[in-house]
Each structure stands twice: as structure tokens, then as C-alpha cells.
Amino acid sequence: MDMHFEGVVFHTYAAELSRRITYPHPPFAVLDVRDAAAFDRERIPGSLLYGTAETQLPPGTTETTEFFIVGAGLEDAAVRNATLSLRKSGARRIVEVIGGMHEWKQQGLPLERAKRDTAA
């Protein structure tokens, strides 16, 4: 990790996150801060549901993990709340995704959808 960027909050766009997902080094995690029902319906493949009241880093991550925060849309306050929570938990590199899931879907990027029980 570049010590020059220690503790900085970055911003990026859905297309950049999509490119980043194809290059998994250094370690990163995509954290979805929407409600659980929205997350269960559709999400960015591999993303984790993250509550904005969390007081610890997500399981399997460390303070050196790069965190991408995805909310519902452009003005989703949950994104900044999650950023602040992660900073308090020791995260050093946080990237807020501008436009969140709205932008992700507008760009036609891949989604992971909940499997529905079709048996009647």
C-alpha cells in the first residue's frame, strides 16, 4: 500500500469499479450499503452486504483491504455513513462509487440476481 494515500477517501465510477474487479490485486472488497431486500434482489457479483452501523471491518478483510462502497444512487447518505464507519474501524483506503447501483445498472454492467423458487 502506498503510504502517501493512507487514510484518503477516493471516488470512482461504476465502469472503473467493473475494470477493477477484473484485477484482484491488491486485495479489495465491494461493500453494498443498500437495504438487505435490495441486496437480495440484485447486486454486484461478489459484493458483500454492509450495514452502516457496523463497528468492525467485514470478515475476511483487513485495514489494508481496498473498500469500494456502493449505495442505491447519487445521493445515498448510507455511502458516507459506511465510509465513516470503516474509517473508525481502521480502514485505510476507501473508494465511494459515484451513482452506486443506479449507475451500475445504467451502464449495463453484470448483476448477480437472487434465485427464485419457481416450484408451485
Digits of tens for pLDDT over the chain (120 positions)?
444 455 667 999 999 999 999 887 789 999 999 999 999 999 999 999 999 788 899 999 999 999 999 999 988 999 999 999 999 999 999 999 999 999 999 999 999 987 654 444
The C-alpha atoms of residue 81 and residue 54 are separated, in whole angstroms, by 10
The C-alpha atoms of residue 95 and residue 69 are separated, in whole angstroms, by 6
DSSP-derived 3-state class of residue 104: helix
CATH superfamily of the domain spanning 23-112: Rhodanese-like domain (3.40.250.10)
pLDDT digits (tens, 9 = 90+) for 80-98: 999 999 999 999 999 999 9
Show me where the domains of the chain are located.
Answer: 23-112
Per-residue pLDDT at 8: 63
For residue 27, whether the previous peptide bond is cis, meaning omega lies within 30 degrees of 0, is no
